[in-house]
Structure 1
C-alpha cells in the first residue's frame, strides 16, 4: 500500500517543468471530476489535490507520485 497523506502535508512531485513542491489541500476517497476529467479513487487508493508553492495552481496525484517533505 502507498503512503497515506493528509491535508496540510508538504510534498514534492514531478511535473513537465521539473520538481514541484506544495501542500495537500484535499484528500479524495470517492470518484470526482477535476479540470473536466473523471478521477477514479477509493478509500484504499485516494487521490490528493495539491497546491504548488510556485504558482498557487492545483493538481491531483496518486500517493505514489508524491514524496513527503521534511
Structure 2
C-alpha cells in the first residue's frame, strides 16, 4: 500500500546523524538528478523529494523511508 503524502506535508526520516524533519516538495515519478546523484523514480516506483527544515537541502526518499511528523 502506497503512502499518501502531499506537497507541504511535514515528514521525518532516519539519517546517520539521527532523525531529520522536513517537508515534501513533490512526488517524483520520472528519473532525475539531485546533487549529482541519479534518482531512479518511476510511476510504478515513485520517490518523494523532501527538503530538510534544518539545512534546506533536498533529497529523494522512497515512501517507506518517510513518516508523517
TM-score range, shorter chain: 0.7 to 0.9
Runs of 4 or more above 6 Å deviation: none
Name the counterpart of 2:55: 55
Structure 2: which 5+ runs fail to align? none
SS in 2 for 1:64: helix
Q: TM-score, normalising length from structure 1?
A: 0.86
Shift of 1:23: 0.3
Q: What per-residue deviation string (whole Å, max 9, x for no partner) do you get for residues 17-48 of structure 1?
A: 10011101121101111111221112232111
Task: Provide the aligned C-alpha RMSD in A.
Answer: 1.2
- Quick one: distance in 1 between partners of 2:62 and 2:4? 10
Name the counterpart of 2:38: 38
Structure 1: which 5+ runs fail to align? none
* Aligned residue pairs, count: 69
Q: TM-score, normalising length from structure 2?
A: 0.87
